[in-house]
Amino acid sequence: MLGNWIKTFVLMAGITALFGSVGAAFGGFGGMVIALAFAGAMNIYAYWFSDKAVLKMYGAQEVTPDNVQFRIYYQMVKELAENAALPMPKVYVIDEQQPNAFATGRNPAHAAVAATVGIMKMLNERELRGVMAHELAHVKHRDTLISTISATMAGGISAIAQFGMFFGGGRGGGRPNLIIGLLIMFLAPMAAGLIQMAISRAREYEADRSGAEISGDPKSLASALEKIHHYAHQIPNQTAERHPETGQMMIINPLSGKGLKGLFSTHPQTEERVRRLLAMVV
């Protein structure tokens, strides 16, 4: 638990420093002050509102207990949350055909889980149960704080090169250094991808293991991962393609991997995840 708080602090501090450096490169001291102020505001927004922003981005609709269409899904999450000794999270559905799911929220008391319509169509009930147990494991381990914040921060990093538009001159009144600008345009999305890659792989293995314990059915989660991996690469997720920084939140990488989007491929190999889960089967 403490490790994720430390990671979150380091992430926020690192990105604040990056923004300050870029502001200084483009606008000297004045540019640095503006960039640091922007980074501070983004840190506050990311902590308190990033979960709502991601859910809105995906057009997620909340599922209530009296919703007939998704009653089984809602009751499934409720039962699994009780198994995991967690408060009941908010439950959402996303009108997206690609099979996938994610969890978000700054802590277990303010958590939400979301699943696509596609995953409900393609998985049987036991497999879906395994997937939602995996997502609740992320909530239990407080992975959702750093994953949601990193998605928001990465989106900000991708736009960092545009700071040059706000600063008419570089140090000494000269024009901004073109080489620095080009380097930032190239390195900013790469930095975002590396940050997320560093925080994502190990936590997926742990969420698989803990999720299998919560559901009591590692074999079904393994089967679900194989199905999702197969179909997710055939059915595009347009929202994820437009916002690749959110891909690391999903149970399976939703991105096509073309161009710079490949930098955001943060998930471990599905085959290895399946192997570890099947090793848990007694």
Tens of pLDDT, residue by residue, the chain (282 residues): 555 566 667 767 776 777 777 777 667 777 788 878 877 777 777 778 778 989 999 999 999 999 999 999 999 999 999 999 999 999 999 999 999 999 999 899 999 999 999 999 999 999 999 999 999 999 999 888 877 777 766 666 666 655 554 554 444 444 555 665 666 666 655 665 655 555 567 889 999 999 999 999 999 999 999 999 999 888 999 999 888 878 888 999 898 765 554 455 568 899 999 999 999 997
Does this model's pTM top 0.95? My answer is no
* Angle at the Cα of 142 from the Cα atoms of 192 and 145, rounded to 5 degrees: 40
Structure-block tokens of residue 33: 């002050």
Rounded (10°) angle between helices 178-215 and 218-232? 140
Three-class DSSP category at 16: helix
**Catalytic residue numbers, as ranges:** 135
Q: Which amino acid is at 38?
A: F
3-state helix, strand, coil in the chain (%, to 5): 70, 5, 25
* Angle at the Cα of 261 from the Cα atoms of 252 and 231, rounded to 5 degrees: 35
Q: Which amino acid is at 197?
A: M
Q: Spell 264-273 as b/e; 16+ CB within 10 A means b.
A: bbbbbebeeb
CATH 3.30.2010.10 is the classification of domain 50-157+182-278: yes
Report how far Cα 143 is from the mean position of its chain's Cα atoms: 9
